[in-house]
Structure 1
Amino acid sequence: MPVEAKPEEELEKKEAPPQEEEEEEEEDEPGVLTPGADGAKKKKKKKKPKKKKATQSDPPRVGLSKLFPSGVYPTGEICEYKDNNSWRTTSEEKRYDERMAMEDPEVTYNNIRRAAEVHRQVRQAARKFINPGQSMTEIAEYIENGTRALVEENGLECGIGFPTGLSLNNCAAHYSPNAGDTIVLKQEDVLKVDFGVHVKGRIVDSAFTLTWDHTYEKLLEAVQAATNAGVREAGIDVRLCDVSAAIQETMESYEVEVGGKILPVKPIANLSGHSINRYQIHGGKSVQLVKNNDQTKMEEGEYFAIETFGSTGRGHVVEEGECSHYAKVADAPHVPLRLTSAKSLLKTINKEFGTLPFCRRYLDRVGESKYLLALNNLVNQGIVRDYPPLCEAKGVMTAQFEHMILLRPTVKEVVSRGNDYRLGRTRDR
């Protein structure tokens, strides 16, 4: 609403000397001199053109340093601690601990957030890209090429955290295509997409499931709800068994109708979430998916993958099929190797992957060939561990969802959370 001016205000306005309007500088051609008031010539300044803000390409290939030139990356979803831990949010002591953690180059959250942002952008593109009719190799390479470009891969400084998992249907985990793989994604398939990114050994491990068949949407809903329940329950000083109980209770509250039969959704009892250490995907603590008596507590500063797997079958997986996943054992024994090829391969593994998981396609990529005998020798000697595909019974469907949580001194940060974790298909219908 306009307000009327008082008489004295009007008087002040009348008496006030007129202000000279500032002249805008015109842009001249470089090197052009114009006459000044005193007849002398002066050079006018040239306006600098505005820099265009970098945007992500399709497929994603623009490195994150161009999208975030400040070097500061987005924070994940912040959740305040509850119950006996609620005091941490306002504690001056814990705020101080938070600042110290930020300044520690070995702990810095920014490395984790950079890896998480790479994961978000690559998986958002992948969800649009993946469709029936594509080969497993085509899908894996799309994800891996995007990850390498966005994280700006640099040896063991930053790169892929572990092989891209593309487990289908009854296979729950640890399948990635080897060279010559001919499997093609079908309309009726249930596909688990599990891939990792690391920055200075800080691994972000997150997964989702896609289906193009309405039949199994409740299975996906159950497993995603179980992951969210685990994320909610997790916290500093929380016992691992309590997180497991919340996951199981949530998942088992769902049913799936398949061919007129009502099937309960069961958590896969011999799979689990896990803590993560630098350059080590499994950090020593396991978050099981069924009730147990593990009284181990989550601790301040720890970093967990809350990872849940559900099944329409018995809820148990076994090793089955050709192996693709491997990793050097962190505390591998010093064993004299007789095979020259094994010695050579171990040097390559140490140089290219360290203790990060790798797959056979990655060995192909760095120029290794005819290495299976040497690789099996390293496995037999306990230097490298193999991770064959983990499968349910034939005809059973499995699903997986996973998020990363960082137990900061003052809050819990779900670093991998994004707005792309909608259920079901890659696109809304």
Structure 2
Amino acid sequence: MRLDSEAIKKYRKAGRIARKALEKAKEACEEGEKYLDVAEEADNFIWDKGAKPAFPTNISVNSVGAHYTPSEDDESRFEKGDIVKIDVGCHLDGYIADNAATVEIGTNRHGSLIKASEEALGIAIRSIRPGIRTKEIGKNIERAIQDRGFNPISNLTGHEVERYVLHTGTSIPNVPKGWTKIKKGMVLAIEPFATDGEGRVEEGDPGDIYKLQKQRDLDGEDLEFYKWIEDNFDHLPFAARWCKEYGDGYKELLKRQKRFGTVMNYPVLSEKKDGLISQREHTVIVTSNGCKATTRL
């Protein structure tokens, strides 16, 4: 698997933008601030830099692990003591960077939980090299999290990334699992999740993150709307709120697309026993003797 110099350059630039967008969002996370304002802080930063979000900024609070992004009328605000996972993705011409961090609002009661996912990520990145199996990476992540007295989330994983494809090929587990060998040139998003709960997430209600599916027999405005989504979001996940740029009636059109099966929307994932969750993530490119993180200084 070989990446040419232009692809590597774009992966790195996307990584720099994604990292800065994440920092902007972290700085905006304060008691009383709206989830929506923080998500838009990150997304707008990415657009302002001439790139595009690879997915809507996820704002996952406390026991929520993934797939929550605010709707345009979401009035939720951060409260003192909240554990907030911010997951930000960016792409340049389809070359994707994905990174995440956890912040605690106004208190410092859960520093060890936050450190558990951070330390697990560092250990995982240091272990990645051509030939290592996913099971070994997962074992390293699990051990680091358990050493702090927490559980890894066993049914959330990191993932391989390809051009215009956020999740593909190889999964990077947070527990010892899988025999896939890592190869030079792979682009991987490594994302340990730690919890004081059971260590599994379950699906809740559908959230506000959508993704195009295969086009079916559409016509009229339904076809026009499908094509607009395709042109603007490149078959990557998108937020319903982004569709307001299409104009009035987008909410009903989106509902129709879902009914036709031409879009799917992701369910919000939460810890099975309502445990608190922390997350940390970087995107890496596998080199001949290790890996390089595109989203880290």
Distance 1:287 1:303 in 2: 11
State the one-letter code of the partner of 1:168.
V
What secondary structure is seen at the aligned counterpart in 2 of 1:209?
Answer: strand
Query: Counterpart of 2:217?
Result: 336
Q: CA deviation at 1:382?
A: 4.5
Residue 342 of structure 1: CA displacement? 3.0
Quote the residue 2:127 is aligned against.
233
Could you tell me which of 193, 196, 214 is aligned with 1:309?
Answer: 193
Distance apart, 1:128 and its partner CA: 2.6
Correspondence for 1:319: 203
What SS class does the counterpart of residue 172 from structure 1 fall into? Answer: strand
Question: In 1, distance between residues paired with 2:123 and 2:259?
Answer: 39
- CA deviations 1:376-402 (Å, max 9, x no partner) are 444455543321211114642111100
Q: Is 2:229 the partner of 1:349?
A: yes
- Matched residue of 2:101: which SS? strand
Q: Is the counterpart of residue 285 in structure 1 residue 170 in structure 2?
A: yes
SS in 2 for 1:166: strand
- Relative contact order (C-alpha < 8 Å, sep 6+): which is higher? 2
Give 1:121 shift. 2.5
- The sequence identity of aligned pairs, in percent, is 27
Aligned amino acid, residue 336 of structure 1? D
Find the aligned partners of 1:213 and 1:134 in 2 and give their Cα distance.
Answer: 15
Q: Contact conserved, 1:319 with 1:390, CA < 8 A, in 2?
A: yes
Matched with 2:271 is 392
- The residue identity in structure 1 corresponding to 2:92 is V
Kindly provide the amino acid, as one letter, of the partner of residue 160 in structure 2: S
Structure 1 SS opposite 2:225? helix
Give the residue type in structure 2 aligned to 1:321. D
AA matched with 1:306: I
* 3-state SS in 2 of match to 1:324: strand
Q: Secondary structure at the match of 2:190?
A: strand
CA contact (8 A) 1:325 1:387 kept: yes
Matched, 1:360 2:240: yes
Partner AA of 1:318 in structure 2: E
Higher share in strand: 2
Counterpart of 2:295 (choices 402, 410, 416) is: 416
Q: Distance in 2 between matches of 1:278 and 1:241?
A: 25
Name the counterpart of 1:131: 30
RMSD across aligned positions (CA): 2.1
Q: Deviations over 1:36-80 (max 9, x none)?
A: xxxxxxxxxxxxxxxxxxxxxxxxxxxxxxxxxxxxxxxxxxxxx
For the residues of structure 2 that align with 1:373 and 1:249, how far apart are their CA atoms?
Answer: 47
Which whole-Å CA distance do the structure 2 matches of 1:412 and 1:286 have between them?
16
What SS does the aligned partner of 2:110 have?
helix
Letter in 1 for 2:152: P
- Whether contact under 8 Å (1:169, 1:189) holds in the other structure is yes
Match of 1:13 in 2: none
Instruction: Tell whether the 8 Å contact from 1:341 to 1:371 is kept in structure 2 after alignment.
Output: no
SS of equivalent residue, structure 1 residue 323: strand
Among 201, 205, 215, the residue aligned to 2:98: 205
Q: 2:145 aligns with which of 238, 251, 257?
A: 251
Alignment equivalent of 2:64, drawn from 164, 171, 176: 171
**2:82 aligned with 1:189:** yes
Residues 365-376 of structure 1 mapped to structure 2, 5 A cutoff: 366-376=245-255
Letter in structure 2 aligned against 1:131: E
Distance 2:138 2:92 in 1: 29
Cα pair 2:30 2:78 within 8 Å, conserved: yes
In the superposition, relative to structure 1, how do residues 125 and 359 fare at CA in structure 2: closer, same or farther (>3 Å)? closer
- 1:120 is displaced (CA, Å) by 2.6
Read off the aligned partner of 2:128 and give its amino acid letter.
A
List aligned pairs for 1:98-113, cutoff 5 A.
Answer: 101-102=4-5, 105=6, 108-113=7-12
Which string of whole-angstrom CA distances, capped at 9 and with x for unpartnered residues, describes residues 265-319 of structure 1?
1111111000001111002211111122x21111121100001111111111112
Aligned partner (choices 156, 160, 164) of residue 271 of structure 1: 156
Structure 2 distance, partners of 1:127, 1:141, is 12
Does the aligned pair in 2 maintain the 1:196–1:203 contact within 8 Å? yes
Unaligned runs of 5+ in 2: none
* 3-state SS, counterpart of residue 265 of structure 2: strand
Deviation string, structure 1 residues 20-47 (Cα, Å, up to 9, x no partner): xxxxxxxxxxxxxxxxxxxxxxxxxxxx
* 8 A contact 2:206–2:266 mirrored in 1: no
> Cα deviation per residue 1:220-256 (whole Å; 9 max; x = unaligned)?
111111111221222212111111111111111112x
TM-score of the pair, normalised by structure 1: 0.65
TM-score by length of 2: 0.92
Structure 1 alignment gaps of length 5 or more: 1-96, 153-157, 256-264, 419-429
